[in-house]
Amino acid sequence: MENFTYAHNDTSSGERKTPTARFNVPALDEKIRSLRQSAFSRGIPTADDETLNFLITLLSAVQPENILELGSAIGISGSVMLNVCSNAHLTSIEREEGFFREASENFSALALSERVTQILGDAGEIIKTLEGGFDFIFLDCAKVQYVKYLPRLKQILKRGGILLADDVLLYGWLTGETPVPKKRKMLARHVYEYVDAVTHDNELTTTIINAGDGLALSVKK
């Protein structure tokens, strides 16, 4: 058995580590593992281990059929979601053309292209045009915009559907574990507004989860 050390707030790796991070390691297939390695080595953003593990566990139980992702990057979380939910279709939005193209290649290499609708553009504009009926939404793009997107995301989410927002504890800034750097006060305020909104919304039931960099799990009543 591994020697016990208390890992909470260990920022030596540059990442926020929760006390549970060491246990919450996702089982990923070899192709996705190597895509993640490539993303990490090139500084491309992608969900951390604990977040991905939570996503896999949750989706294994819920098995949504119509998933929306805001922020595809190179398609890693999208591919993981599709692998877990064999009957699902994914609509994934990304505004960086290079990431969009690379995600397209990755979906194709993983034989997932037929189950994905990729949309290139600004998520805020695109969600206005989507028909809706999503039973799972993974919100993982510009954090300052989360609160602005919320009213529309609620409209396009089915009753009983789940809205999962990533990175809502922002390196521990929102829980007071670490002080908010002066330059990031605006970002912290916007994310706080999102957390405040979803935890006080009569149409949602929400739990804030201390996994990864913080997740807001909201279910539409």
Ligand X SMILES: C[S@@+](CC[C@H](N)C(=O)[O-])C[C@H]1O[C@@H](n2cnc3c(N)ncnc32)[C@H](O)[C@@H]1O
Taking the least distance from each CB to ligand X, the nearer of 47 and 208 is 47
Give dist(CA 26, CA 52) in Å, integer.
6
Q: What are phi and psi of 118, to 5 degrees?
A: -95, 140
- Residue from 21, 86, 32 nearest 59 by CA: 86
Q: Is 96 in the site for ligand X (CB under 6 A)?
A: yes
Give dist(CA 21, CA 2) in Å, integer.
14
> Measured from the CB of residue 45, what is the shortest distance to ligand X in angstroms?
4
Q: Is 71 in the site for ligand X (CB under 6 A)?
A: yes
Site for ligand X in 10-39 (CB under 6 A): none
> Measured from the CB of residue 176, what is the shortest distance to ligand X in angstroms?
24
Q: How many CB atoms lie within 10 A of CB 202?
A: 6
> Measured from the CB of residue 55, what is the shortest distance to ligand X in angstroms?
9
Taking the least distance from each CB to ligand X, the nearer of 71 and 161 is 71
Task: Report the amino acid identity of residue 3.
Answer: N
Taking the least distance from each CB to ligand X, the nearer of 56 and 142 is 142
212 neighbors 50 (Cβ within 8 angstroms): yes
| Residue facing ligand X at closest CB distance | 71
> Measured from the CB of residue 188, what is the shortest distance to ligand X in angstroms?
17
Q: Is 77 in the site for ligand X (CB under 6 A)?
A: yes
**What is the torsional sign of CA 199, 204, 205, 206?**
negative
Q: Which tokens sit at 127?
A: 């969600």
Q: What are phi and psi of 107, to 5 degrees?
A: -60, -40
What string marks each residue from 128 to 147 as x (binds ligand X by CB under 6 A) or -? ------------xxx--x--
Contact residues for ligand X (CB under 6 A)?
45-47, 71, 73, 76-77, 93-96, 99, 122-124, 140-142, 145
